[in-house]
A and B are shown apart, each in its own frame.
Chain A
Amino acid sequence: MSGARERIIAEARGLAEQVCAVADRPATLAHQFARYGLGQMLPPQVELLSGPGCPVCVTSAGEIDAALALARLPEVTIATFGDMVRVPGSDSTLAHERARGADVRVMLSPMEAVELAEKTDRQVVLLGVGFETTAPGVAVAVAEAKRRGLSNFTVLCTHKRLMPALEALMAAEDVAIDGLLAPGHVSTVIGWGAYRDFVARHHVPCVVAGFEPHEMLRAILALVRQLAEGRAQVENAYPGAVTERGNLKALAAIDRVFEPTDAEWRGLGIIPAGGMKLRAAYADLDATKRFGISIEEGREDPRCRCGEVLRGALRPPECGAFGRACTPAHPLGPCMVSSEGACAAAYKYGGAG
Chain B
Amino acid sequence: MCVAVPSKIVEIDGDTATVEVTGTRSHARLDLIEDAEVGDYVLVHAGFAITTIDAEEAEETLALMTEVGLI
Assuming the contacts A1-B68, A240-B57, asked whether A249 and B47 have C-beta atoms less than 8 A apart, the reply is: no
When the two chains form their complex, are residues A249 and B34 in contact, meaning their CB atoms are under 8 A apart? Answer: yes
Q: Is A179 part of the contact surface with B, judged by Cβ < 8 Å?
A: no
The 8 A CB mask of B25-39 against A (1 = contact, 0 = none) is 011010111100000
Smallest Cβ distance from B30 to chain A, in angstroms? 10
When the two chains form their complex, are residues A136 and B32 in contact, meaning their CB atoms are under 8 A apart? Answer: yes
Interface residues of B in 8-31 (CB under 8 A from A): 26-27, 29, 31
Instruction: Report the Cα distance A341→B3, complex, angstroms.
Output: 12
Interface residues of A in 179-227 (CB under 8 A from B): 183, 185, 188-189, 210-215
Instruction: Report the Cα distance A260→B62, complex, angstroms.
Output: 37
Assuming the contacts A189-B50, A340-B3, asked whether A212 and B64 have C-beta atoms less than 8 A apart, the reply is: yes
Instruction: Report the Cα distance A253→B33, complex, angstroms.
Output: 11
When the two chains form their complex, are residues A130 and B51 in contact, meaning their CB atoms are under 8 A apart? Answer: no
When the two chains form their complex, are residues A136 and B34 in contact, meaning their CB atoms are under 8 A apart? Answer: no
When the two chains form their complex, are residues A109 and B32 in contact, meaning their CB atoms are under 8 A apart? Answer: no
Interface residues of B in 36-71 (CB under 8 A from A): 43, 45-48, 50-51, 53-54, 56-58, 60-61, 64-65, 67-68
When the two chains form their complex, are residues B46 and A137 in contact, meaning their CB atoms are under 8 A apart? Answer: yes
On chain A, the number of residues with a Cβ less than 8 Å from chain B's Cβ atoms is: 46
**Across-interface contacts of A53 in B (CB, < 8 A):** 2
Main secondary structure of the interface of B (DSSP, over half): mixed
When the two chains form their complex, are residues A185 and B68 in contact, meaning their CB atoms are under 8 A apart? Answer: no
When the two chains form their complex, are residues A108 and B51 in contact, meaning their CB atoms are under 8 A apart? Answer: no
Assuming the contacts A81-B46, A130-B1, asked whether A213 and B68 have C-beta atoms less than 8 A apart, the reply is: yes
When the two chains form their complex, are residues A137 and B45 in contact, meaning their CB atoms are under 8 A apart? Answer: yes
Interface residues of A in 113-133 (CB under 8 A from B): 130, 133
When the two chains form their complex, are residues B58 and A240 in contact, meaning their CB atoms are under 8 A apart? Answer: yes
When the two chains form their complex, are residues B64 and A110 in contact, meaning their CB atoms are under 8 A apart? Answer: no
Assuming the contacts A133-B2, A253-B31, asked whether A188 and B47 have C-beta atoms less than 8 A apart, the reply is: no
Assuming the contacts A28-B2, A81-B46, asked whether A137 and B32 have C-beta atoms less than 8 A apart, the reply is: yes
Interface residues of A in 1-26 (CB under 8 A from B): 1-2, 5
**Across-interface contacts of B2 in A (CB, < 8 A):** 28, 53-55, 133, 183, 185, 211, 340
When the two chains form their complex, are residues A140 and B57 in contact, meaning their CB atoms are under 8 A apart? Answer: no
Instruction: Report the Cα distance A140→B15, complex, angstroms.
Output: 12
- Which of B1, B32, B48: most chain A CB closer than 10 A? B1
Smallest Cβ distance from B68 to chain A, in angstroms? 7
When the two chains form their complex, are residues A133 and B45 in contact, meaning their CB atoms are under 8 A apart? Answer: yes
**Across-interface contacts of B56 in A (CB, < 8 A):** 240
CB pairs A–B below 8 angstroms (21 shown): A1-B68, A2-B67, A81-B1, A82-B1, A110-B47, A111-B47, A134-B1, A137-B45, A183-B2, A185-B2, A185-B43, A185-B50, A188-B50, A214-B61, A215-B61, A241-B53, A247-B32, A247-B51, A250-B32, A250-B50, A253-B32
Sample of 8 further A-B pairs with CB below 8 A, known A28-B2, A249-B33: A1-B68, A54-B2, A108-B47, A136-B50, A140-B29, A211-B4, A241-B57, A247-B50
Taking Cβ atoms with an 8 Å cutoff, the residues of A that contact B are: 1-2, 5, 28, 31-32, 36, 53-56, 81-83, 107-112, 130, 133-134, 136-137, 140, 183, 185, 188-189, 210-215, 239-242, 247, 249-250, 253, 338, 340
